[in-house]
Copies of this chain bind each other. A is one copy, B any other.
Amino acid sequence: MSTLAINPPALGGTRYKEVKSAILAALSAGEWKGGECIPSEKRLAERFGVSIGTLRKAIDELCAENILIRHQGLGTFVSMHQRDRHFFRFFRVVRRDGDKAYPVVTLIDFKKARASREVAAMLGIETGARVFQFVNGLALHGKTVLIEHITVPEAQFPALTEAKLRNRPNTLYNFYQDVFGINVVETDERVSVALANEIESAQLGVEVGAPLLEIRRIAYSYHRSAVELRVSRLNTDEYEYIGARPGRDEEK
């Protein structure tokens, strides 16, 4: 049907913004899934009743936001952020000499819980809502240097189990995408200093009270809806956090 046809620059302001919203809506609705190819520019232009140039401008923005990926001669695909080199877009820890390595992840703990007021506020859910909480240890070059405390809402991750988590073949965000249809496209991170507790001390091989880098991350899906809360603690003896690159506009 043409319920998806676009009207004159009504609500969104401009045609290409309307087209962009329509594509985003189709993505949210699951019309095209992670890694799949969306229709050709020509077909989409016809579907939305705009010229190719306008359609391209909409897709340009979605590509700039890493929501879509173009491949010349192949088509335009729904981004799978977590594969290959894209991995380091979200994993921002490197050795002091700049060497980037893939971490070996170990699941340390897994449990069901209820969202505290703070957690609920950050995830945009109700206080007391059911959540899963799990803890990962990440090893780089054979040594555990990072502990992650992850919280996700049960509502968005139905039937998540420790076994599924342990047996996932890919990265965590890839797992979210494949199993739950959740696409992490953006994160906010705040960094500060914290002191190692007993558990971290044991896992990281540092003394209790040793200073660690604490990274608090909220991960978002398409319409900036929060899907995951993650508090990580990093031993910065040999590794560092890659900070900002204000190449693009970030605040407005």
Q: Is A166 an interface residue (CB 8 A)?
A: no
How far apart are A224's CB and chain B's nearest CB, in angstroms? 11
- Bound state CA distance, A88 and B251, in angstroms? 8
- Bound state CA distance, A192 and B193, in angstroms? 9
* Given A193-B213, A211-B193, A213-B213: A188 in contact with B240 (beta carbons within 8 A): no
- Residue contact A245 to B188, C-beta cutoff 8 Å: yes
**Chain A stretch 191-210: residues in CB contact (< 8 A) with chain B:** 191-193, 195
Q: Is A46 an interface residue (CB 8 A)?
A: no
- Residue contact B66 to A186, C-beta cutoff 8 Å: no
- Residue contact A92 to B186, C-beta cutoff 8 Å: no
* Copies of this chain in its oligomeric complex: 2
- Bound state CA distance, A245 and B191, in angstroms? 12
- Bound state CA distance, A102 and B52, in angstroms? 45
- Bound state CA distance, A92 and B64, in angstroms? 23
Residue of B96, B192, B239, B241 near A240 (CB, 8 A) is: B192
Q: Is A187 an interface residue (CB 8 A)?
A: yes
**Chain A stretch 13-45: residues in CB contact (< 8 A) with chain B:** none
Q: Is A223 an interface residue (CB 8 A)?
A: no
- Bound state CA distance, A211 and B207, in angstroms? 14
**Chain A stretch 217-251: residues in CB contact (< 8 A) with chain B:** 217, 236, 239-251
Contacts of A236 in B (CB 8 A): 192-193
- Residue contact B66 to A244, C-beta cutoff 8 Å: no
How far apart are A14's CB and chain B's nearest CB, in angstroms? 13
Q: Is A147 an interface residue (CB 8 A)?
A: no
Residue of B195, B212, B244, B248 near A92 (CB, 8 A) is: B244
- Residue contact A244 to B187, C-beta cutoff 8 Å: yes
Q: Is A180 an interface residue (CB 8 A)?
A: no
- Residue pairs across A and B with Cβ atoms less than 8 A apart, 29 shown, are A66-B246, A89-B246, A89-B251, A90-B246, A92-B243, A92-B244, A96-B192, A186-B245, A187-B244, A187-B246, A188-B245, A189-B242, A189-B245, A190-B240, A190-B241, A190-B242, A191-B191, A191-B243, A192-B236, A192-B239, A193-B212, A213-B213, A217-B243, A242-B244, A243-B243, A244-B244, A244-B245, A245-B250, A248-B248
